[in-house]
Amino acid sequence: MTNRFLLAIGAAALVGLLAGCPSKYPKCSDDGDCNTDGHSGVCVNGLCEECGADSDCKAGFKCEVQTGGGNRCVPAAECYSNRDCSGGKVCQSGSCVACASDDACGPNMMCNNGACQPKAECSVDDDCRAGSNCIEGRCVAVGPICPQDPIRFAFNEYSLSTQARTSLNGLADCLRQKAGNAAVTLEGHCDERGTEEYNMTLGEKRAVAVKKYLSNLGIDNGRLRTVSYGKERPAAYGSNEDAWAANRRVEFTVAR
């Protein structure tokens, strides 16, 4: 009886002793087992690792998880694609670096002095559509050359008033100084009164009168084109003096 009692006491003591012993490193049951005897780390799946998540690493590092164990903190990638980089740099091996070729920059981009930038859309104004100029490699919409108010006419007239001549003098100066050899279209218009045929003829006479005046001021005849729209393109609608006066006109289009 005494022997059995002593044996039971000894077995219980042994179990307690074994339960109180820490796991043999790198085996672990919790993080505490990984931070003894000069070791440090976290317990991951029963093994002490340097890290189990990015939060276990210092700033600027991430946890590189290995399937078979051996997790470690490594420098975090600065980028994963070119979009993560600024200043025209490209993403290579997780770091933002200066570009070395157009291919590194991606579609529709070019490498210029180590920085990616959009490929030039144009090199001269002629590369752009009408109404745009080439500015620093991009086609940029610009205002009209030599903007000009319409020339007005009296009812059933195509002669130029003093005010019209003064206005055309200013247009001629602008065409000489700013428009180079740009072509100018002179559009003749009429009010709604009269037949279509009559107004087409009157509109042409008005455009021709302006053309002759500009030509006499030194504008090359070859640059001046006339067209009549008669009463087909009114600037104002209505059967009253204000609308009629607004529609008796010559308008200008200066090509770029």
Q: Assess whether pLDDT exceeds 50 at residue 34.
A: yes
Look at residue 14 and tell me if it is in a domain.
no
- Which is higher by pLDDT, 234 or 145? 234
Q: Read off the pLDDT band of 202 (50, 70, 90).
A: very high
Say whether both 71 and 88 belong to one domain.
no
The mean pLDDT value for 179-185 works out to 85
Say whether both 229 and 193 belong to one domain.
yes
Look at residue 156 and tell me if it is in a domain.
yes
Say whether both 125 and 164 belong to one domain.
no
Q: Read off the pLDDT band of 17 (50, 70, 90).
A: very low
The confidence score (pLDDT) of residue 22 equals 54
The mean pLDDT value for 45-71 works out to 87
pLDDT, tens digit, 9 for 90 and up, residues 67-125 = 767 899 988 888 989 999 999 999 998 889 999 999 999 998 999 999 998 888 888 88
Look at residue 175 and tell me if it is in a domain.
yes
Instruction: Out of 36, 56, 75, pick the residue that ends a domain.
Output: 75
Return the top range by mean pLDDT from 58-62, 63-67, 239-243. 239-243
d(CA 134, CA 254): 18
Say whether both 169 and 245 belong to one domain.
yes
Q: Assess whether pLDDT exceeds 70 at residue 9.
A: no
Say whether both 155 and 250 belong to one domain.
yes
Average pLDDT of the chain to the nearest whole number: 87
Q: Assess whether pLDDT exceeds 80 at residue 8.
A: no
Say whether both 101 and 166 belong to one domain.
no
The mean pLDDT value for 50-61 works out to 90
The mean pLDDT value for 158-172 works out to 96
Look at residue 12 and tell me if it is in a domain.
no
Instruction: Out of 103, 120, 141, pick the residue that ends a domain.
Output: 141
Q: Read off the pLDDT band of 49 (50, 70, 90).
A: very high
Look at residue 189 and tell me if it is in a domain.
yes
Look at residue 7 and tell me if it is in a domain.
no
Nearest CA among 160, 147, 139 for reference residue 217? 160
Number of Cβ atoms within 10 Å of the Cβ of 152: 18
Look at residue 9 and tell me if it is in a domain.
no
Separation in Å, CA 98 to CA 56, 81, 93 = 32, 14, 13
Say whether both 130 and 105 belong to one domain.
yes
Q: Read off the pLDDT band of 146 (50, 70, 90).
A: confident
Residue 13: partners with Cβ closer than 8 Å, 6 or more residues away? none
Look at residue 10 and tell me if it is in a domain.
no
CA terminus-to-terminus distance, the chain: 119
- The number of folded domains in the chain is 3
Domain enclosing residue 46, as ranges: 23-75
Say whether both 89 and 184 belong to one domain.
no
Q: Assess whether pLDDT exceeds 50 at residue 60.
A: yes
Q: In degrees rounded to 5, what are phi and psi of residue 44?
A: -130, 115
Contact between residue 161 and residue 152 where contact means Cβ atoms under 8 Å apart: yes
Say whether both 116 and 132 belong to one domain.
yes
Task: List the CATH number of the domain containing 186.
Answer: 3.30.1330.60
Say whether both 243 and 156 belong to one domain.
yes
Say whether both 69 and 86 belong to one domain.
no
The mean pLDDT value for 35-55 works out to 91
Q: Assess whether pLDDT exceeds 70 at residue 129.
A: yes
Say whether both 135 and 217 belong to one domain.
no
Instruction: Out of 119, 141, 163, pick the residue that ends a domain.
Output: 141
pLDDT, tens digit, 9 for 90 and up, residues 211-239 = 999 999 999 999 999 999 999 999 999 99
